[in-house]
Chains A and B, each alone.
Chain A
Amino acid sequence: MSDGLIIDQLKKNQILDLLKEGKRVDGRQFDEPRKLTIDIGVIPKAEGSARARLGDTEVVAGVKVQPERPFPDTGDKGMLICTAEILPIAHPTAETGPPQPPVVELARVTDRGIRESGMLDMKQLVLEKDKSVIGVFCDNAVTDHDGNLFDACSYASTAAINACKIPKYEMQDEKPVKIEGEFTEPPITTLPVSVTMAKIGDFIVVDPTIEEWGIMDSRITITSNSDGNVVALQKGGSDGFTQEELIKCAELSVKVGSKIREIIKQSK
């Protein structure tokens, strides 16, 4: 344990020294995310799917669409649920079994970014009010972990939902029946994109790698929509941010996010 700590401390000093010279370990600018590639339709059995590669971090998102009984208080809206899990193939420290708090946080932050942006117009996903609605389930599987899973899951989810096809259903005897071979476009209103920033010393860097992630003091994930508004946010890590830093981070997130949104748009 203490060996690990000494190595962490040495690594941190090295990364900090580089940052003071205006450099990052992998040569990127402070506000430069890693290369993002998105492949759509990698899982043909899913109604929508995307593989997002952010540097060496890789996430596969699959969208399943199926009729559901609505929650009693939201019978006039469809259902949208995003999850995320880190597969044991993704990293030597990834474990099987019930999700630990960091994985629960990953799944909830991914879900919040999509949900709070109102990406899908849920009112259009109702088959019969209070009886049957369309459920959209976007499940993220992290297959390779090189840091910043929040953003990789955000991009994979947004791309997969954006590219999904909603099967047509008709109500017969109060039960939804699928019409084979007929699909509609999803009711997309906006494309949410998260940008995670790590604070290391007094420096703020976009899209931390696993090395930077391991030694950062704190982090913030800010999701923005197509209008450049902030729709979701999560601070993490054992340090705080000043008011000025938070405003800078929001501006950075909107700026970097708009470029990423173009990559997601073009992937469709």
Chain B
Amino acid sequence: MGGRDTDIVLLDENGIRCDGRKVNETRKVTIKAGVLKNANGSAYIEFGDNKILVGVYGPRDVHPKHMSDTDTGILRCRYHMAPFSVGERKNPAPSRREVEISKVIKEALEPAVMLKEFPRTAVDVYMEVLQADGGTRCAALTGASVALADAGIPMRDLVAGCAAGKAADAVILDVNNEEDQAGQADLPIGYMPNLKKITLLQLDGVLTPEEYKQCIEIGIDGCNQVYEIQKKALQDKFFASGEKQ
């Protein structure tokens, strides 16, 4: 982890975290589907203080053409942070971190999207982080699944994202920015609840084998909670006028 020394008490004597949560509690998550006019599908997600807009275009023609595949559609993902999304201005050019996150999110979504249905086409997923507060990759992944579903692209399952981790020697759910900076470990998880498959998994920080098991356990639990909110966002959009669900 960043290992920065701060004065923040990550976990007080009552087991309450620096933002008032219990160890096994996620931040407040709200998702709205269908927020952009031009995109084929879109979503706006607030994951605690993270604010992320996702737009999906496609299936559409592939440019450049040599990227197209006669056997399957391709998924392209771009995770990008706005310069104003963090404390100190971020250079708008894509950093190596963003290149890597784009890649892991793409590989987390691929198992869910039925790309073989659209050979020679591309589905483009653009995730724009407007405000970042720790756990952006999970939040972006969560929003991206909703936007893909909103675009009407056939999917096997939604992918829900939530991190687990370790701070002040305790296993915690949904690591926030302070806990990411000063905590001991961060383990972001992307999970398909219906298929029971983990499609995104990273870790930085030290965990004993026992803590590792616990982190995956509560991380999956967090993903299941996020999944319910994803489903609700889609229901709210498509059945808002009181149609039968």
Using A235-B107, A241-B198 as known contacts, say yes or no to A2 and B212 having CB atoms under 8 A apart: no
Does B96 interact with chain A (Cβ within 8 Å)? yes
A236 to B199, CA, bound (A): 8
> Given A230-B209, A250-B212, A254-B209, are A238 and B111 also a contact pair (CB < 8 Å)?
yes
Residue of B nearest to A2 (CB): B70
Whether A108 contacts B96 by the Cβ 8 Å rule is yes
CA of A238 to CA of B201, assembled, Å = 12
Counting CB contacts under 8 A, is A242 at the interface? yes
Given A242-B198, A243-B196: A102 and B204 interface contact (C-beta under 8 Å):
no
Check if B163 is an interface residue, CB within 8 A of chain A.
Answer: no
A-B contact pairs, 25 of them (CB 8 A): A101-B100, A104-B99, A104-B103, A105-B104, A117-B206, A220-B201, A229-B206, A229-B207, A230-B208, A231-B204, A231-B207, A232-B204, A233-B201, A234-B104, A235-B201, A239-B110, A239-B111, A239-B199, A240-B111, A240-B192, A242-B196, A242-B198, A243-B198, A243-B220, A251-B209
Q: How far is A236 from B201 in the complex, measured between Cα atoms in Å?
A: 8
- With A101-B103, A233-B202 known as contacts, the answer to whether A250 contacts B192 (CB < 8 A) is no
Q: Does B62 contact A (CB under 8 A)?
A: no
Closest beta carbon of chain B to A174's beta carbon, Å: 24
* Cβ–Cβ contact A105 & B196, under 8 A: no
Chain B residue at minimal CB-CB distance from A234: B202
Residues of chain B within 8 A of A220, CB atoms compared:
201
Counting chain A residues whose Cβ lies within 8 A of the other chain, the interface size class is 35 or more
Chain B residue, CB-CB nearest to A5: B71
Question: Which 5 A-B pairs give the minimum distances between C-beta atoms?
Answer: A240-B197, A233-B203, A240-B199, A235-B201, A238-B110
The reply to whether A230 and B206 form a contact with Cβ atoms under 8 Å apart is: yes
Extra 9 A-B pairs, beta carbons < 8 Å, given A105-B100, A115-B204: A101-B102, A229-B208, A230-B208, A232-B203, A238-B110, A239-B199, A240-B195, A241-B201, A243-B216
User: Within 8 Å of chain A (Cβ to Cβ): is B1?
Assistant: yes
A225 within 8 A of B: yes
